Amino acid sequence: MTNAVAAETRDLIAALGADPALLAGGTRIVRSPITGDVIAEVAETTPAEAAERIAAAAAAFRVWRTVPAPRRGEFVRQLGEELRGAKEALGRLVSLEVGKALSEGLGEVQEMIDICDFAVGLSRQLYGLCMPSERGDHRLTEQWHPIGPVGVISAFNFPVAVWSWNAALAFVCGDSVVWKPSEKAPLTALAVHAIVERVIGNFGPDAPAGLAGLIIGGRDLGELLVDDKRLPVISATGSTRMGRTVGERVARRFGRSILELGGNNASIVTPSADLDLTLRAVAFGAMGTAGQRCTTMRRLFVHADVYDRLVPRLIEVYRTISIGDPRDPGTLVGPLIDGEAFAAMERALAAARAAGGRVHGGGRVDVNGEASFYARPALVEMGEQADCVREETFAPILYVLKYRTLDEAIAWQNDVPQGLSSSIFATDIREVEQFLSAAGSDCGIANVNMGTSGAEIGGAFGGEKETGGGRESGSDSWKAYMRRQTNAINYGRILPLAQGVKFDI
């Protein structure tokens, strides 16, 4: 491991306060998709150690749940402060480990900071309701209590932000967290773990050891979390296939799951769209993060009246977009995570061709040699929404279809198993409102005059159907990390029964 990327990784790990010794001597080999070089050999958590961490999180929970919520907010404020200081180094490490363009690596850390800020405010707003009681001298209220340790299983493409969306809320809600990051991205997790441990250490006895646990390993360790009754909530981000298993297994033990699974996100370009803005939005939505966001724009329905004014320009952008080493500031499209991802892209493009699609772009680009996988994004003009279009391929492929009526475009948009994000480009208020109406987009996210990706943390993030139904981040997503208790209080001297029932003894 004498290569330059490994050396840079080691420096960043050290700068972030994690022990560089963690990078050597283990059995799990980590490669940077930027060059394909091995950058670490990290130790995997054994099942016995994982069980210990869950036990430690359960013990920490019993302490943490009694700490006043605003004080828990102070803890998250300090975490946010540490992350502010770490933004540059952690953003770079994200870029090295998963190949994101540097500005996106930094953006990911900014999302972590944002959710911490959000959670600090929330720590004074975990509101319950007060409902009118039907009985005299009675009060009917509800309150929200911490629920227990939360298991977080995250994916490679947002290797640290997903943890923070869950952890920042869980911490203010009075829960501890046990995290299993993607096996493709353990290093950023080790760095974040070092940061949170430092905050715990500095916080004093209110923040118990075990508040934030980390488990490094593969699917077997994920299953260990999923099946453990001490974790009442499992938040899992990844493929629909993974989520189906997680959802079923967590439900079997009456746990709660927050599932953030696949997306097959579409945008509709209407005749009233601002086409310059649309062009930029589609480029970022479909090619940003090399098409490896769950919110990536994967389908584009363009009205016949504007098709010839937009699509040729878009094809030109696909032809000229800068693909390269993500550390280079001029790069907009970095590498795919690995060779498997490139093979999946090739398979999808072959299927699209077989279904009559006209493929523009695609194919491998040599940036840093044989061991890394850079691809030219592909735009595929399709005559119809064939089966291959209805599947999510985690790569920069945009299927473009021509439509004639908005009803038709909305029907196509909804005619996929996934339901994460969607958008419309229009300045005609009728079309916009039809798209946003109950009979419009069936997705968890529906945007106007922007792409499908790049959500802010202030809104609830997640989607319907095979996307899993979970919501994370903003709005009232925090409720999934707490248990609701309804309290009926009789402050009178008689005992009126609800619904007028008589039971006089």
User: For ligand UN1, how many residues bind (rule: CB under 6 A)?
Assistant: 9
Q: Find the shortest distance in angstroms from Cβ 416 to ligand UN1.
A: 17
Q: Find the shortest distance in angstroms from Cβ 379 to ligand UN1.
A: 20
Nearest to residue 121, comparing CAs of 394, 478, 483, 488? 478
- Give how far Cα 194 sits from Cα of 20, 25, 79, 127, 184, Å: 11, 19, 11, 32, 19
Q: Quick check: 158 binds ligand UN1 (CB under 6 A)?
A: yes
Near ligand UN1 by CB under 6 A, which window of 98-106, 131-139, 287-295, 387-395?
Answer: 287-295
Q: Find the shortest distance in angstroms from Cβ 201 to ligand UN1.
A: 30
Q: Find the shortest distance in angstroms from Cβ 366 to ligand UN1.
A: 27
Near ligand UN1 by CB under 6 A, which window of 4-12, 37-45, 68-76, 447-455?
Answer: 447-455
Q: Quick check: 293 binds ligand UN1 (CB under 6 A)?
A: yes
- Give how far Cα 104 sits from Cα of 107, 111, 317, Å: 5, 10, 20
Task: Decide whether 69 or 150 has the Cβ nearer to ligand UN1.
Answer: 150
Which of the 8 DSSP states describes residue 154?
Answer: -
| Site map (CB under 6 A) of ligand UN1, residues 228-267, x = contact | ---------x------------------------------
Task: Decide whether 158 or 374 has the Cβ nearer to ligand UN1.
Answer: 158
SS3 of residue 228 by DSSP: coil
CA–CA dist 160, 191 (Å, integer): 9
CA–CA dist 70, 121 (Å, integer): 8
In the region spanning residues 116 to 155, those forming contacts with ligand UN1, defined by CB under 6 A, are none
Which two structure tokens, joined as six digits, stand for 211? 């508040």
Q: Find the shortest distance in angstroms from Cβ 237 to ligand UN1.
A: 6
Task: Decide whether 77 or 100 has the Cβ nearer to ligand UN1.
Answer: 100
Q: Taken in order 458, 463, 467, 468, is the CA torsion positive or negative? A: positive
Task: Decide whether 294 or 349 has the Cβ nearer to ligand UN1.
Answer: 294
Q: Quick check: 156 binds ligand UN1 (CB under 6 A)?
A: no
CA–CA dist 169, 122 (Å, integer): 8
Please provide residue 423's backbone torsions phi and psi, each rounded to the nearest 5 degrees.
-160, 165
SS3 of residue 323 by DSSP: strand
Q: Quick check: 294 binds ligand UN1 (CB under 6 A)?
A: yes
CA–CA dist 416, 266 (Å, integer): 10
Angle at 407 between CA 315 and CA 386, to 5 degrees: 50
CA–CA dist 363, 376 (Å, integer): 6
Q: Quick check: 35 binds ligand UN1 (CB under 6 A)?
A: no
Q: Find the shortest distance in angstroms from Cβ 455 to ligand UN1.
A: 3
Taking the chain, what is the end-to-end CA distance rounded to the nearest angstrom?
82
Q: Quick check: 295 binds ligand UN1 (CB under 6 A)?
A: yes
Q: Quick check: 157 binds ligand UN1 (CB under 6 A)?
A: yes
Task: Decide whether 459 or 496 has the Cβ nearer to ligand UN1.
Answer: 459
Task: Decide whether 98 or 455 has the Cβ nearer to ligand UN1.
Answer: 455
SS3 of residue 381 by DSSP: strand
CA–CA dist 119, 183 (Å, integer): 28
Identified catalytic residue from 108, 260, 381, 392: 260
Task: Decide whether 295 or 423 has the Cβ nearer to ligand UN1.
Answer: 295
Near ligand UN1 by CB under 6 A, which window of 80-88, 143-151, 431-439, 449-457?
Answer: 449-457
Q: Quick check: 318 binds ligand UN1 (CB under 6 A)?
A: no
Whether 104 is a known active-site residue: answer no
47, 70, 128, 454: which one binds ligand UN1 (CB under 6 A): 454
Residue 496, phi-psi category: left (phi > 0), alpha (psi -120 to 50), beta (remainder): beta
Which two structure tokens, joined as six digits, stand for 9? 């990784």
Q: Quick check: 453 binds ligand UN1 (CB under 6 A)?
A: yes
Q: Quick check: 471 binds ligand UN1 (CB under 6 A)?
A: no
Alpha helices by DSSP H, 16-101: 47-64, 69-98
Please provide residue 419's backbone torsions phi and psi, each rounded to the nearest 5 degrees.
-150, 50
In the region spanning residues 344 to 403, those forming contacts with ligand UN1, defined by CB under 6 A, are none
- Given a contact cutoff of 8 angstroms between Cβ atoms, the answer to whether 462 and 472 are in contact is yes
* C-alpha 488 chain-centroid distance: 38
Question: CA-based diameter of the chain, in Å?
Answer: 86
Task: Decide whether 157 or 393 has the Cβ nearer to ligand UN1.
Answer: 157
Q: Find the shortest distance in angstroms from Cβ 450 to ligand UN1.
A: 11
Residues carrying an active site annotation:
260
Q: Which residues bind ligand UN1 (CB under 6 A)?
A: 157-158, 237, 293-295, 453-455
